[in-house]
Structure 1
Amino acid sequence: MKLKSYDLAIVGAGIVGLAHALAASRRGKKVVVIDRDSVANGASIRNFGFVTVTGQQAGDCWQKAARSRQVWGEVAEAARIPLLQQGVTLTARLPESEAVIDAFLKTDMGAECRRLSPAEAAEKVPALRRDVITAALYSPLEVRVESKDALPRIANWLEEVHGVDFLWQTSVNAIETPRLETSRGTLQAETVIVCPGDDATTLFSDRIASYEVTRCKLQMLRVTPKTPMTLGTAVMSDLGLARYLGYAELAEATPLKDRLDREMREHRDNGIHLIVVQSGDGSLVVGDSHHYGPTPDPFIDKSVNDLILHEMETVLDLGAHDISETWIGTYASAPDRWRLTDAPDDATRIVMVTAGCGASTAFAIGEETIADLYA
């Protein structure tokens, strides 16, 4: 069976693949997106749906996040994706954390952010434990979507409005642009972009291996308060100041990291930082942890979840609550970069986000790749 020809074939229907499909379709290109699953089922939906600008690494990552946030606003309106929350309140309970907040506010990245007192922070997030926190950083830039709903809506919108074709449950076995061998037959495309998520072995494994790509396993939970409550903004804590590179690479972060290494060793060893966001049904998505290896095990470690929940309960007073879901996510990780774009030839690109910020940066990366291919 021979399939029809396209200007561009994209392998992978996660947020990175969809972002490239949008950028190409806006240039009038005929696009097909190919995915081995029946719906997006990887890192793009096993996350917070938290589009984060503040705290991303200074430079390229922060710039890509700022642009992607603009595109998210356009896409959410056009594809009728609810923006469930806006803004983030990052709480501090240590003087070293306050020093990082103050230093961040002096950078260009902190221009739209401000420092809050505990009382002001509680206006943003009523459940905050005001007797625990000493200050907070507030950013109005962040938005939150429900990823498991948003990704299908984007795909449907691209198909219905932009004429993008989707081949679901279709594997791509070999690529020699303009020829792709798929489980449905041969497909022709003038250009090809491979967006493999954390799959480093199926296509172009030798090229991906040169970047020392491994995988990161994370654990997340859904917490349902027994008494309905409104969270307000998304919430983060001191641990985020020591992990998100926009803060953690500041000179003022060194004393904080040293103190957390001494006093919260288990959290740090398990790569835990706190993010809490709220879904439309009132439940909270809470996480997460980070463990690295080429083949992460599929098991949820209760002790790790307990550490995450301990940090949540230290910062938030939710009252009685249930754990309604727990799950594992994985994403690609590389030791010296937050993303990679590789060119096997002039008409082919491999694009991976290797720092867990795909939802926050993909739309800008897609624009960059398409501009390069069609310069």
Structure 2
Amino acid sequence: MIMHYDLAVVGAGIIGLAHALAAARRGLRVVVIDRDRQANGASIRNFGLVVVTGQAPGISRRRAERTREIWLDLAAEAGLDILHTGKLVAARRPEALAVLEAFSAGLDGRECRMLTADETAAHQPGLAAERVVGGLYSPFELRVESRDVLPRLAAFLGERHAVEFRLGVAVSSVEPTALQTSDGPVHAARIVVCPGDDLTTLCRERIAHYGVRRCKLQMLRLADPGMRLNSALVSDLSLLRYGGYTGLDEAAALKQRLMRECPLALDNGVHLIVVQSADGSLIVGDSHHYAETPDPFASDAVDRLILDEYAALFGAPPPVIARWTGTYASAPGNDCFSDAPHRDVRLVMVTSGTGASTCFAIGEETVADLFAV
């Protein structure tokens, strides 16, 4: 029997699941198709950090705020664990503190709190006041364990909303109302393609139009340091990677100082995010290297740059117990794009590494567009 769906979603990463959720909440019949048997890409090779503060003002910030609301809804509805909340920006340099002060004085910083050096150290055990000049605390961030929540979210969609999953099935072509797959044709009134960082299998020319390439990152898991994070933590280097900070006039002086003091870190796109898992271990990272096809090899020198930034705040790091690389789609000047190869088909790519932070809002926008009355 040939099944017909209201929406077919290609890709079972967090972006694909977000579209399935948005459609299922409208009561639509949804199928999700993925060539892999389980989530294996950028959606699980990350910090699991839903970042609101620091997102570029405007649509990116609004998407992050809405996505945070839905994560909290899902925590209650689907039993997804929020491991810790909030984010501490620990400033080591006066120039970084100046950026934070300018941010906190703006509209998007109104609910954040500036901290003295002593207050920053008091917020997070393991920090010493002499290592920082101050900080900023944001109450908005959420931390989930991506490799756990993705399969649980998929199970919730299947059990609560009757979303059908066809895993281990490759899609070879997309046509209006039909997908050709390794398991036969799939018929749907509307189609959303969420290819992650696959730049060639589907919609190759449409993707190339946006100048998309891949970003390779390196991350590490450290043994339980014996302390507990009261929130996620980021450092000065991270302020150069978020549009909410880089758009401030004060960011130029910080960048100049960092270029003098740690050029290798900047050359390798290193910044510091630290989050904690339920078992006490820490995830730290990351780095950024760009190419259409990045090599698959991790660099020990890059790992050392990440660990050096950790050590500057906390002292000697605990043992490394796991290392990995990941890749995600990246495009200049775009956090995300939605392309329409046909009026009933959408190609959606997040091109800024912010999938967990903006996915659910993007899913709602796409589904509302496709099913507008």
Name the TM-score class by shorter chain: over 0.9
> In the alignment, is the contact (CA less than 8 A) between 2:307 and 2:317 conserved in 1?
no
Q: Assess, with a 3 A threshold, how the Cα gap between structure 1 residues 62 and 320 changes in structure 2: closer, same or farther.
A: closer
Amino acid of the residue matched to residue 145 of structure 1? V
3-state DSSP of counterpart to 1:282: coil
User: 2-side partners of 1:79 and 1:94: how far apart?
Assistant: 42
**Hey, what does 1:287 align to over in structure 2?**
285
Deviation per residue, 1:280-308 (Å, 9 max, x gap) = 00000000000000001111100000000
**Hey, what does 2:200 align to over in structure 1?**
201
Deviation per residue, 1:22-54 (Å, 9 max, x gap) = 100111100000010011111000000000001
Is 1:173 the counterpart of 2:172 in the alignment? yes
> In the alignment, is the contact (CA less than 8 A) between 2:177 and 2:188 conserved in 1?
yes
3-state DSSP of counterpart to 2:325: strand
> In the alignment, is the contact (CA less than 8 A) between 1:129 and 1:314 conserved in 2?
no
**Hey, what does 2:33 align to over in structure 1?**
34
**Hey, what does 1:218 align to over in structure 2?**
217
Amino acid of the residue matched to residue 282 of structure 1? G
**Hey, what does 1:355 align to over in structure 2?**
352
How many residue pairs match? The answer is: 372
1:240 CA displacement: 1.0
> In the alignment, is the contact (CA less than 8 A) between 2:35 and 2:167 conserved in 1?
yes
Deviation per residue, 1:243-268 (Å, 9 max, x gap) = 21110111111110111111110010
Is 1:233 the counterpart of 2:228 in the alignment? no
1:98 CA displacement: 1.0
Q: Which runs of 4+ in 1 moved over 6 A?
A: none
Amino acid of the residue matched to residue 193 of structure 2? V
**Hey, what does 2:243 align to over in structure 1?**
245
Task: Normalising by structure 1, report the TM-score.
Answer: 0.98
**Hey, what does 2:71 align to over in structure 1?**
72
> In the alignment, is the contact (CA less than 8 A) between 2:311 and 2:317 conserved in 1?
no
User: 2-side partners of 1:302 and 1:372: how far apart?
Assistant: 46
**Hey, what does 1:345 align to over in structure 2?**
342
User: 1-side partners of 2:2 and 2:55: how far apart?
Assistant: 41
3-state DSSP of counterpart to 1:139: strand
Say what the alpha-carbon RMSD is for the aligned residues: 1.0
3-state DSSP of counterpart to 1:335: coil
Amino acid of the residue matched to residue 212 of structure 1? G
User: 2-side partners of 1:124 and 1:202: how far apart?
Assistant: 47
Deviation per residue, 1:142-194 (Å, 9 max, x gap) = 01000000000000000000110000000001111211111110110000000
User: 1-side partners of 2:97 and 2:7: how far apart?
Assistant: 48
Deviation per residue, 1:201-220 (Å, 9 max, x gap) = 00010111110100000000
3-state DSSP of counterpart to 1:239: helix
**Hey, what does 2:273 align to over in structure 1?**
275
Of the three residues 323, 326, 331, the one matched with 2:328 is 331
1:278 CA displacement: 0.1
3-state DSSP of counterpart to 1:198: coil
Amino acid of the residue matched to residue 56 of structure 1? Q
**Hey, what does 1:21 align to over in structure 2?**
20
User: 1-side partners of 2:259 and 2:57: how far apart?
Assistant: 24
User: 1-side partners of 2:110 and 2:12: how far apart?
Assistant: 34
User: 2-side partners of 1:182 and 1:281: how far apart?
Assistant: 40
Is 1:257 the counterpart of 2:255 in the alignment? yes
1:122 CA displacement: 2.4
* Further displaced range: 349-358 or 73-82: 73-82
Amino acid of the residue matched to residue 61 of structure 1? S
**Hey, what does 2:104 align to over in structure 1?**
105
3-state DSSP of counterpart to 2:230: coil
Identity %: 53
Deviation per residue, 1:298-321 (Å, 9 max, x gap) = 11100000000000010124x662
Q: Any unmatched runs of 5+ in structure 1?
A: none
User: 2-side partners of 1:236 and 1:266: how far apart?
Assistant: 18
